[in-house]
Amino acid sequence: MKKFFSNVWRGIQFVQNLIVTLIFFFLVYVFISLINTGGLPIVPEGAALVIAPEGDIVEQRTARDSLAALTGDFNNIPPETLLRDVVGAIRAAAQDKRITVLVLSLDDMRGAGPSKLQYIGTALREFKESGKKIIAYGDSYSQQQYYLAAHADEVYLHPYGSVILTGYGSYPTYYAGALEKIKASVNVFRVGAFKSAVEPYLRDDMSDEAKEANRVLLNDLWGGYLQDVATVRALDAAILENDIGNMPGRLRNAGGDFARLALESKLVDDIKTRDEVRALLIEQVGATDDGASFKSIGMGTYLTATQAAQKKSANRIGVVIARGEILDGEQPAGRIGGDTVARLIRQARENDAVKAVVLRVDSGGGSQFASEIIRRELELTQQAGKPVIASMGSVAASGGYWISASADEIWAAPTTITGSIGIFGILMTFENSLDMIGVHADGVGTTPLSGQGDIRLPLSPFARDIFQQSTENGYRQFINLVAEHRGMTPAEVDKVGQGRVWSGARAKEFGLVDELGYLDHALDAAARRAGLDDYSVIYIEPERTFEERVIDFFFGAAVKSDDIEPKRGPSQSDLLLNYARELMRPLELNDPRGLYTICLECEVR
């Protein structure tokens, strides 16, 4: 039997090595082919640049599982598009005489935070100022998709399509009833009247305090959305909001036809099928050699063709991305490892060419300990004479605010979700669950703390007192940190803290943020503080392994779509899996003291 399994294992290793070898030779073949064809794609003269983002628009792509990819499970990995790729391509095209039209094909775009939409919208407005036209086409438009489409000179919709504007909402899933059924004991320690991150494990509904805070935040975000759309579409924001509120009656008057309703509401300029839009674009920029479509180049191909030619300055500003949940230790891309990000900051500090550091934050927080490891590394960078600027993306709250707090300047978008200055600890024990199936733990220890933290044993009042004191001290550390670096008193921080979440615009009013702006503004601020007249930007990220490079090559590291037909739609099963992951979150968190600064209400949909 031992020999049989040994032979099976050798067979598995042989197949694995064979796959890797075949991939290697294929990559060598591709590399040689690129050399023989001149190495870079050609941008057609007078072409349309097609911006067709897939999946979520993110600051940093989530690491892909190489085993899942090689076994065919890569189809279950949601695609992602880098925000900097979208903005970079649009801005390059604005100055490129070879590009005459920008086409927004948004059907494969799943979502993006409000601040990311605004950042792309800024780039689109700059493109229009260059005198070139933007055309948007969609089978249908979600709220996020429509925000970008609204910036186009011409917005087209399929006859069977729709534009659905739902507003913003925060609807966490609550598990108290389920946890009660399995008799799980949820031990919670928290500080802050609005610190509602643990509510899903204690309640079956949202508390009044959480509703109060969330309503203010959501109204800020929605007001910004309506005003932006109204401005670029020459509409009245109040009328637009009223139209949404009266949709049933207005849809009835339109005969139940969503496309007609969108046209009557002036959300789109015309109703056209895919082939009609394709013919229109052929009239605009000409046809491909085979006459099947319009002359175009996709975003990924365009970036490959143009980025190599960009002039590089000897002066560098290093951008370190902190995206995802903050966890202790080393973590893959898409999660913030305290040790991982600290090492990247250290690399920037020790690189003589890097004159300043911009921390790009897109995180609702996590481990307090890991957050402090990152913040301390930034502080050391400042002590070394290099400016540090925090640039907040869609979310920079709780731990995301902690790591930003001591920066020389904090920049946030008006719709950034930030604040949430609060802290909690959570520990689940399953002694009652095990009792239901006849499993018990018992014994003796040398101190009152012996056995505490074992999920088979209940948490004693002695241990609960210790955990609560530690949590309260963690909150004092948080508000004192903010007070010290923001020129506020602890009482002033506590007044806007208590775990409450704010929009970037309100955070600036309270002194939690220095300026409103996007990544470009933060980069300029870093250059100003470093005394640089010109600079180039480098993203300081973990070096990708050979496996990751192979996966990126085969499974869509860059979006190369160059037509208006979508590839796929979002899977409903992905949402179900996300909700299941939320339930398991307390078991994944790994702060060594069990203290967390996380903003659950930051997950706005």
Residue type, 517: G
> Collapsing DSSP states into helix, strand and coil, what is residue 336?
strand
CB contact at 8 A, 576 and 176: no
Cα separation, 362 vs 322, in Å, equals 6
User: Which residue among 142, 170, 363, 398 is the active-site one?
Assistant: 398
CA 174 to each of CA 178, 214, 309, 340, 572: distance values in angstroms, whole numbers, following the listed order: 9, 16, 52, 32, 19
Enter the tokens of residue 301. 């191909």
Identify whether 272 is a catalytic site residue.
no
Identify whether 6 is a catalytic site residue.
no
Cα separation, 526 vs 530, in Å, equals 6
Give per-residue burial for 332-352: e unless 16+ CB within 10 Å, then b. Answer: ebbbbbbbbbbbbbeebbeee
Cα separation, 418 vs 522, in Å, equals 17
CB contact at 8 A, 297 and 43: yes
Cα separation, 434 vs 445, in Å, equals 21
What phi and psi values does residue 412 have, to the nearest 5 degrees? -140, 150
Cα separation, 134 vs 368, in Å, equals 45
Instruction: Evaluate the CA torsion angle 293, 299, 300, 306 in order and state its sign.
Output: positive
User: Which residue among 115, 132, 142, 195 is the active-site one?
Assistant: 195
Q: Provide the angle, in degrees to the nearest 10, between the axes of the packed helices 338-350 and 368-383.
A: 10
Q: Which residues are catalytic?
A: 195, 398
